[in-house]
Amino acid sequence: MSRIADVFGKLASARRKALIPFVTAGDPAAGGTVELMHALVGAGADVIELGVPFSDPMADGPVIQRASERALAEGVSLDDVLGFVTAFRKRDSTTPVVLMGYANPIEAMGTEAFAGRAQTAGVDGVLVVDYPPEESAEFAALVRRHGIDLIFLLAPTSTKERIDSVARLASGYVYYVSLTGVTGASHLDVGGVGAKLAAIRRSISLPLGVGFGIRDGESARAVGKVADAVIVGSRIIQEMEQGDPAAAAARAATLVRSIREALDRP
Amino acid sequence: MQMYDLPDSRGHFGPYGGVFVAETLVHALEELRAAYETARKDPAFVAELESELKHYVGRPSPVYHARRWSDLLGGAQIYLKREDLNHTGAHKINNTMGQAMVARRMGKRRVIAETGAGQHGVATATVAARYGMECVVYMGAEDIKRQAANVYRMKLLGASVVPVESGSRTLKDALNEAMRDWVTNVESTFYIIGTVAGPHPYPVMVRDFQAVIGRECVVQMPELAGRQPDAVIACVGGGSNAMGIFYPYIPHDDVRLIGVEAAGDGLATGHHAASLCAGRPGVLHGNRTYLLQDAHGQIVETHSISAGLDYPGVGPEHAWLKDSGRAEYVAVTDDDALKAFHDCCHREGIIPALESAHALAYAAQLAPSMARDRILLVNLSGRGDKDMHTVAEKSGIRF
């Protein structure tokens, strides 16, 4: 069983929701990413989504764009990101790590080479933002051979047909984007999310995570009532931006801990 | 050659093209694909577009025999397709007119666009004014500084121009930002992409709207020159004017198709924008195509004296035409393009856009090696009024 399935299995039996923070590898500093990952786990993260910086993050709002730019300024490449995961695995052999990014850095490394190296590094899942199911059948088969889950996005506008095509290829969990927009947007309609998740569950039995628009413990808690996992990204990066870079991991951990507590409150 | 029927139903030109976007955009692209399919088969749409192109844009644009320049070069005869004579001064309006009409059919009241030099932005602002639509144009902050006159033109036409401060603050970042706007406001908004790139159906839709250029040439050349040309030459940034003139000539096996990219300071310097000549395949802006990228797959900054060619990708159909051998792609430097710019001014009394000057430069290199009865057809895709400042600055002149 993959680490991702394992974690979701344990959480389900404990009737708890998964908390998945997203941070961009190399932000705010290349040297701090591994410590940041450990700090997130310490604060209650169940899975870590690690962003692979890209020069043209078309689906991201300004906060994650800035994070990507800072990481690129630090010279962080996909090679380095795999290095961070290898280093993280020396002290943590259980927390799943999902790489989230865009197709081009992966294709530049070569998809075969990437899948092999990601497996060796201890990566559990990959979400390629600009690989919709129609364009990723081969890639899905490739990463699966390397024991890696391919995570897909679904959106409020996804039709039944598209949900079914994701169902055929996805493993690990499915990431539901709570609104049409870019990462970091602010409005969140929990009722609408719940209705759509119910429709998705008719086709997909994998755990459903919800992201985009989750700002704090209360919005996480509301989403946690209808989803299996809550994904928080831009808000964590903002929190780190607002303080001294040396204190970034501590600030992120404080925020994640507060969300964890809200999520677990009976 | 075999019948050419690309792209396939999902927008693939061989391994290129496709729909490489986040799930949040897929539905909007599907709606657009369906709306465009219906429109292009509707005789009323086709007739209205033809009427607009004739009465508003000023089509057909003439083909002109550049006799004096050809004689001075002493070889092949150079003919110019005068897209510079269109309303707004370039080929860009052929496409913005078509897309704005699709937008109207879809009931969208707001159009957005990205622009580099400002030509596509101006062409979009123009049709938005023509149809009474709200218009927002995204433009890199660097480009806004370089193209102040076009920024003002867009504002005169009633558009808002939004400076883009992310990334390299140029065209590719403006495209990213326009995509972000679209995904956020998809209900009300139509995104008018300016070139044959982006996710399906944009490359095929923009090609179809620009193909009026080549269709006219296929009729005009026999009338004027007695036959089709030996080669068709066009500049390639994203590649819309080239695709527009190439496409109707693809089945004409004996007509060479030559795309001219921007070699900037020279391909060897790394300061250029020649994706097909010096790039390698990858995924950017919703399609797979040739890209200028570093070893890690990050998109690199490009350089060209011509802002309209300053783009790190290229339309996926060009990538396919290159690999299949049907078209050839070459690159000329800033200096060569500038020389052709001045030659065209002095010898023909036509001030070409710096983009088009790249195609002229290659024609001027090729012509002397060919017999006098050979024919080169060059797409003069735009006029050079917008480039006055750039050219003057290069000559050390300040207004």
Shortest alpha-carbon distance between residue A17 and chain B (Å): 24
Residues of A with catalytic roles: 49, 60
pLDDT at A225: 95
Question: Could you confirm whether domain A3-264 is CATH 3.20.20.70?
Answer: yes
Q: How many CA atoms lie within 13 A of A230 on its CB side?
A: 30
* Distance set, CA B43 to CA A100, B49, B176 (Å): 46, 10, 35
pLDDT at A112: 98
Chain A residues whose beta carbon lies within 8 Å of the beta carbon of residue B171:
none
Tell me the C-alpha distance between A113 and B160, whole Å: 46
pLDDT at B278: 98
Selected for mutation to probe chain B from A131, A182, A208 (highest B CB count within 10 Å) is A182
Rounded mean pLDDT, A17-23: 98
Tell me the C-alpha distance between B69 and B297, whole Å: 43
Structure tokens at A256: 């994640």
Instruction: With H, G, I as helix, E, B as strand and everything else as coil, classify residue B345.
Output: helix
pLDDT at A190: 82
What values do phi and psi take at B253, rounded to 5?
-55, -30
A102 closest CA partner among A64, A63, A159: A64
pLDDT at A7: 98
Instruction: With H, G, I as helix, E, B as strand and everything else as coil, classify residue A248.
Output: helix
Point out the residue among B10, B28, B176 whose CB comes nearest to the CB of A134: B10
Amino acid at B375: I
Tell me the C-alpha distance between A185 and A66, whole Å: 15
Q: What integer best gives the mean pLDDT of chain A?
A: 95
Point out the residue among A79, A105, A135 whose CB comes nearest to the CB of B20: A135
Contact B159, B121 (CB under 8 A): yes
Three-state SS letters, B58-89:
CCCCCEEECHHHHHHHCCCEEEEEEHHHCHHH
A14, pLDDT greater than 90 = yes
Rg (CA), chain A: 17
A-facing residues of B in 27-66 (CB < 8 A) are: 27-28
* Interchain contact, B296 vs A135, CB within 8 Å: no
Query: Touching check for B278 and chain A: CB below 8 Å?
Result: no
pLDDT at A155: 94
B1, pLDDT greater than 50 = no
Tell me the C-alpha distance between A200 and B40, whole Å: 35
In chain A, what are the domain boundaries? 3-264
pLDDT at A186: 66
Of A18-32, A169-183, A245-259, the range with the lowest mean pLDDT is: A169-183
Residues A229, A64, A100, A171: is their CA dihedral positive or negative?
Answer: positive
A255 closest CA partner among A5, A31, A42, A2: A42
Rounded mean pLDDT, A166-188: 85
DSSP state of B352: B
pLDDT at B2: 56
Selected for mutation to probe chain B from A52, A55, A72, A158 (highest B CB count within 10 Å) is A55
Tell me the C-alpha distance between B345 and B341, whole Å: 6
Chain A residues whose beta carbon lies within 8 Å of the beta carbon of residue B286:
58, 130
Chain A residues whose beta carbon lies within 8 Å of the beta carbon of residue B18:
134-135
Query: pLDDT (tens digit, 9 = 90+) per residue, B138-180?
Result: 999 988 987 888 999 999 999 999 999 988 898 999 999 999 9
A185, pLDDT greater than 80 = no
pLDDT at B147: 86
Contact A147, A26 (CB under 8 A): no
Tally of CB atoms within 10 A around A51: 28
pLDDT at A179: 77
How would you list the strands of the sheet with A208-211, edge to edge? A149-150, A125-128, A97-101, A48-51, A18-24, A229-232, A208-211, A174-177, A152-154
**Active-site residue, selected from the candidate residues B114, B216, B348, B355:** B114
Tell me the C-alpha distance between A97 and A85, whole Å: 8
B229, pLDDT greater than 50 = yes
The answer to whether B114 is a known catalytic residue is yes
Q: How many CA atoms lie within 13 A of A174 on its CB side?
A: 29
Q: What percent of chain A has pLDDT over 90?
A: 92
Of B257-271, B274-288, B346-360, B379-393, the range with the lowest mean pLDDT is: B379-393
Contact B242, B206 (CB under 8 A): no
* Interchain contact, A56 vs B286, CB within 8 Å: no
Point out the residue among B166, B183, B283 whose CB comes nearest to the CB of A103: B283
Query: pLDDT (tens digit, 9 = 90+) per residue, B259-280?
Result: 999 999 999 999 999 999 999 9
Contact B178, A58 (CB under 8 A): no
Region label for B175, one of left (φ > 0), alpha (ψ between -120 and 50) or beta (otherwise): alpha
* Interchain contact, B184 vs A58, CB within 8 Å: no
Tally of CB atoms within 10 A around B4: 11
- Name the pLDDT band for B99 (thresholds 50, 70, 90): very high
